[in-house]
Amino acid sequence: MAKHSRTWWGQKFISALESFTDSGRLQRGRAYSGDSRILHFEITKGIATATIRGNVNPYFGVYKEPKYETEVKMTAIEAKDWTKIIANMSSKASVVAKLLLNEVPENIESSFTSVGKHLLPYSSKDFQTECSCPDYSNPCKHIAGLCYRLSSEFDEDPFLLFEMRGISKEDLQAELLKSPLGKALASELGDRTIALASATSYFTKPQTAPTSEVPTLKQFWQGQKRLPQSIPIATPASVSAIVIKKQGDNPPFWHKDSSFIETMEVLYDRVKNKNLALL
């Protein structure tokens, strides 16, 4: 089945759905994930709800276009377990750094399995779904369509996963920032803005400076001091592509299946290492 999500966490969410649902029903459900079918969609208090436009079907006595109310809820993690999970995450620099950069690290599940929990769904027990349609099967094609829509929403905002598990993005990041590691990373990732200074011209005006003596022709061309024989290597940044990462992955203008941040990381690495052979 073709990918319906651009991120690994969105694909994992769909994989869980595919593991316990008929593939044919899922295929029909894809057609119900677009804006032409989903008339209303929202996530409130960790519950995803949608109004989905159905089909007219005289064979089943449906002569007027129906609208079905669909709901998908993931099993919430209790507050006492979140305390243990956040304490585990706060001890791992790679996890804290990515979460503060609005990303989901691939090793995040280890912090959940340490207390016997999961962030991403693994079975039908992780889902609680309802639909007002007459289909006796659960999930029906409308629920499948809402789940596919959710995977796309997770691409744009991975913290919706945490919200559906019982904790908001603001509360999660606030707890991470309380730890010593979170404070250190926050100071490194914080804004480093430079105050703007007004200028009367867009161009640098040349200024003259008096000189005590007129340099010789050799001094003029070669300078007073000998140039250094080696160029010092600049200290690499502690976080590659930090400006890009601070804005989060999958910006509105990025329409490819690959990660925008990963693409920029490769570009940054090429730029940094392009002329190393000349040193």
Are both 249 and 130 inside the same structural domain?
no
Are both 32 and 145 inside the same structural domain?
yes
Backbone dihedral region for residue 187 (phi beyond 0: left; psi -120 to 50: alpha; all else: beta): alpha
Within a domain: 221: no
By percentage, how much of the chain surpasses pLDDT 90? 5
pLDDT at 271 over 60: yes
The answer to whether residues 85 and 77 touch, using CB atoms and an 8 Å cutoff, is: yes
Within a domain: 39: yes
Q: If you ran DSSP here, which 8-state letter would residue 180 be given?
A: H
pLDDT of residue 52: 92
The answer to whether residues 158 and 9 touch, using CB atoms and an 8 Å cutoff, is: yes
What integer best gives the mean pLDDT of the chain?
80
Q: Based on the structure, what is the number of domains in the chain?
A: 2
Question: Which of the pair, 30 or 236, is modelled with greater confidence?
Answer: 30
Mean per-residue pLDDT, 85-110: 84
Are both 135 and 18 inside the same structural domain?
yes
The answer to whether residues 187 and 242 touch, using CB atoms and an 8 Å cutoff, is: no
Q: What is the DSSP string of 93-154?
A: HHHHHHHHTT---TTTHHHHHTTT--SS--SGGGEEEEE-SS--SSS-HHHHHHHHHHHHHH
Q: What is the domain extent for residue 246?
A: 242-278
pLDDT of residue 50: 93
Within a domain: 220: no
Instruction: Note the pLDDT tens digit of each residue in 191-218.
Output: 555 566 777 777 777 888 887 778 788 8
Q: Is the peptide bond before 139 cis (omega within 30 degrees of 0)?
A: yes
Are both 134 and 263 inside the same structural domain?
no
Within a domain: 266: yes
Are both 126 and 30 inside the same structural domain?
yes
Pairing between strand 127-131 and 67-74? antiparallel
Mean per-residue pLDDT, 156-183: 86
| Cα 66 to Cα 217: distance, rounded to the nearest angstrom | 90
Within a domain: 68: yes
pLDDT category, 189, cuts 50, 70, 90? low
Q: If you ran DSSP here, which 8-state letter would residue 58 be given?
A: G
Are both 145 and 9 inside the same structural domain?
yes
Tell how far CA 192 is from the center of its chain: 22
Are both 37 and 144 inside the same structural domain?
yes
Of the three residues 156, 176, 202, the one that is the final residue of a domain is 156
Within a domain: 177: no
Q: Count the helix, strand and coil residues of the chain and give each as a percent rounded to the nearest 5.
A: 45, 10, 45
Q: If you ran DSSP here, which 8-state letter would residue 236 be given?
A: P
pLDDT at 51 over 90: yes
Are both 130 and 34 inside the same structural domain?
yes
pLDDT category, 1, cuts 50, 70, 90? very low
Using alpha carbons, select from 183, 182, 151, 179 the residue that is nearest to residue 257. Answer: 151
The answer to whether residues 133 and 68 touch, using CB atoms and an 8 Å cutoff, is: yes
Of the three residues 102, 132, 156, the one that is the final residue of a domain is 156
Instruction: Note the pLDDT tens digit of each residue in 118-140.
Output: 888 877 778 888 999 887 777 88
pLDDT at 254 over 50: yes
pLDDT of residue 128: 86
Are both 38 and 149 inside the same structural domain?
yes
The answer to whether residues 241 and 261 touch, using CB atoms and an 8 Å cutoff, is: yes
Are both 148 and 268 inside the same structural domain?
no
Are both 247 and 137 inside the same structural domain?
no
| Cα 126 to Cα 19: distance, rounded to the nearest angstrom | 12
Mean per-residue pLDDT, 59-71: 82
Within a domain: 232: no
pLDDT of residue 100: 80
pLDDT at 33 over 50: yes
Within a domain: 83: no
